């Protein structure tokens, strides 16, 4: 009995170790050599631990961003505190998330094997974030003492179904975009992609294809996620800082005092770049463990499911309509700024328009919107993306997981999670 308790605590209860074991098994199944097995296992464990460190950096920057914009809009309540936070959440529930990811993937493989939905979901970082956010919603509703195996079982069933059906839903349009039936979309932007296609069909003109126009090459920097994050957050922090500087309120003085000797505007820009740095750290961590996990997953899937189609990350659609990607982003930028102001002025919510989410999702919506509605479809798809993300983030941070990981939901929660989040919440209330 002691042995079981020891294993439960130290292996299943220590997510980094559990993840290390799953990757170890995956690498052994692929018959990798000793050197590859050792480096892969360690990189997976270290990668997972890095995520918590990056999350701390992001919070430290958001700790200026939120009060600063609250001051600008004159909002008084201090909601941004008292949550568990990504690092502590990973320590407590990371094992359940890790196991649910692995079991959910096996369900995806089984469904692909035995049904006509032959899609294998391979976008590993989104597998991790989606499962994490949904785990947060369940813990919010069921409490921190939710039974471990019940949590794992529910999440793996839900994720397995989502990973199988989401690519199936987008595939009819993917066939039109790619011109063949070889690859599928496996990404949490599916809902806004479909929304973009729908809006394009209603209000666009398919003949006015975005790829007929020439866009300025000065938009090339959009390809580097670190640069767009730093630039856009830099502008928002700077505008917020200037507006706070012109106010003489006690709140404004308190914020400016936090900069110490440093000029408040310089301090704010450094915080914006710190935010971008935090995201880069988290992504590095995710890359380190997903990079070991996904090849193992693919190895398993291709052996078991003949004729399986890989469901892949959203950049797979970019080459088919690069202009639509840019148009979608322009649409989302207009929407994000509009909703930042509207949400701030009306319901008093400070929207964090993270460019990684907005860029990749509006790109999907742009490409899908263009196939049905040309230029107008792409722009509308982008605008719809900002709308879903802004209101989705508000609902998620305020209602669906205010006590668990709202910090993560502000920058890592995606369109599909906002659409499915309320369903997860409802099911959690019924079942837990």
Partner 1 sequence: MKKILAVCGLGQGTSLILKMNIEQVLSEEGVQAEVEHVDVSAASSMTADLIVTSRELAQNLQNGEARVVTVQNFFDVNEIRSALNEHL
Interface positions with partner 1 (CB under 8 A): 122-126, 182-183, 187, 220, 223-227, 280, 283-284, 286-287, 290-291, 294-295, 298, 310, 312-316, 319, 322, 356, 360
Minimum distance of partner 1 from residue 123's CB (angstroms): 5
Q: What share of the chain is helix, strand, coil (3-state, %, to 5)?
A: 80, 0, 20
Comparing CB distances to partner 1, the nearer of 173 and 350 is 173
Minimum CB–partner distance for residue 191 and partner 1 (Å): 18
Distance of CA 227 to the CA centre of its chain: 18
Closer CB to partner 1, 78 or 303, in the complex: 303
> Which CB sits closer to partner 1, 106 or 222?
222
Query: Closer CB to partner 1, residue 14 or residue 30?
Result: 30
Residues with Cβ within 8 Å of 203's Cβ and at least 6 positions away in sequence, in order, are: 373, 376, 377, 380
Closest Cα to residue 150, out of 100, 108, 185, 198? Answer: 100
**244 burial level (CB within 10 Å; 0-12, 13-18, 19+):** buried
Question: For residue 178, what are the CA distances in angstroms to 164, 172, 174, 387?
Answer: 20, 10, 6, 27
Closest separation in Å from C-beta 318 to partner 1: 8
Minimal distance, residue 182 CB to partner 1, in Å: 7
State which H helix or E strand residue 7 sits in.
helix 2-7
If the CB atoms of residues 141 and 170 are measured against partner 1, the closer one turns out to be: 170
Strand-pairing partners, residue 141, are: none
CB of 327 to partner 1, least distance (A): 16
The least distance separating partner 1 from the CB of residue 294, rounded to whole angstroms, comes to 6
The least CB distance from residue 342 to partner 1, in Å, is: 29
Q: How far is the CB of 390 from partner 1 (least distance, A)?
A: 22
CA-to-CA distance for 375 and 204, rounded, in angstroms? 7
Is the Cβ of residue 226 or residue 387 nearer to partner 1 in the bound state? Answer: 226
Instruction: Report the residue number, 279 or 424, with the smaller CB distance to partner 1.
Output: 279
Phi-psi region at 120: left, alpha or beta (left = phi > 0; alpha = psi -120 to 50): beta
CB 119 within 8 A of CB 311: yes
DSSP 348: -
Q: Rounded to whole angstroms, how far apart are CA atoms 149 and 16? A: 18
Tell me the backbone φ, ψ of residue 246, rounded to 5 degrees.
-80, -10
Q: Which is nearer to partner 1, 252 or 314 (CB)?
A: 314
Provide the 10 A C-beta neighbour count for residue 391. Answer: 17
Neighbours of 86 (CB within 10 A): 25
């Amino acid at each position: 009995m002691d042995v079981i308790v020891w294993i439960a605590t130290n292996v299943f209860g220590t997510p980094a170790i559990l993840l290390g074991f799953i990757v170890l098994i995956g690498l052994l199944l692929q018959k990798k050599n000793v050197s590859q097995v050792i480096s892969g296992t360690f990189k997976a464990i270290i990668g997972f631990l890095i995520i918590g460190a990056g999350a701390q950096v992001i919070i430290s920057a958001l700790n200026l961003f939120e009060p600063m914009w609250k001051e600008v809009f004159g909002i008084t309540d201090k909601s941004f505190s008292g949550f568990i936070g990504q690092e502590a959440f990973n320590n407590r529930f990371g094992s359940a998330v890790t196991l649910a990811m692995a079991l959910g993937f096996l369900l995806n493989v089984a469904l692909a094997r035995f049904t006509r939905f032959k899609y294998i979901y391979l976008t590993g970082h989104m597998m991790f974030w989606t499962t994490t956010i949904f785990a947060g919603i369940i813990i919010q509703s069921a409490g921190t003492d939710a039974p471990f195996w019940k949590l794992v079982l529910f999440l793996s069933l839900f994720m397995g179904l989502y990973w199988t059906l989401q690519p199936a839903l987008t595939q009819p349009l993917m066939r039109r975009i790619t011109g063949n039936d070889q690859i599928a979309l496996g990404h949490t932007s599916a809902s806004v992609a479909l929304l973009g296609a729908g809006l394009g069909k209603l209000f666009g003109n398919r003949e006015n294809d975005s790829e007929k126009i020439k866009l300025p090459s000065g938009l090339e920097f959009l390809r580097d996620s670190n640069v767009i994050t730093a630039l856009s957050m830099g502008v928002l922090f700077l505008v917020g800082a200037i507006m706070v500087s012109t106010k003489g309120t006690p709140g404004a003085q308190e914020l400016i005092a936090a900069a110490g000797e440093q000029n408040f505007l310089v301090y704010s820009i450094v915080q914006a770049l710190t935010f971008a740095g935090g995201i880069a750290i988290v992504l590095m961590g995710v890359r380190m463990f997903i990079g070991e996990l996904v090849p193992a997953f693919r190895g398993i899937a291709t052996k078991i499911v003949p004729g399986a189609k890989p469901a892949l990350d959203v950049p797979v659609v970019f080459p088919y309509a690069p202009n639509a990607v840019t148009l979608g982003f322009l649409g989302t930028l207009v929407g994000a700024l509009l909703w930042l102001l509207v949400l701030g002025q009306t319901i008093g919510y400070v929207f964090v328009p993270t460019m990684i989410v907005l860029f990749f999702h509006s790109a999907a919506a742009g490409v899908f919107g263009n196939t049905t509605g040309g230029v107008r479809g792409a722009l509308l798809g982008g605008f719809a993306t900002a709308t879903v993300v802004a209101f989705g983030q508000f609902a998620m941070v305020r209602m669906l997981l205010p006590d668990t990981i709202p910090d993560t939901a502000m920058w890592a929660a995606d369109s599909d999670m906002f659409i499915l989040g309320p369903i997860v919440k409802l099911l959690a209330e019924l079942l837990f």
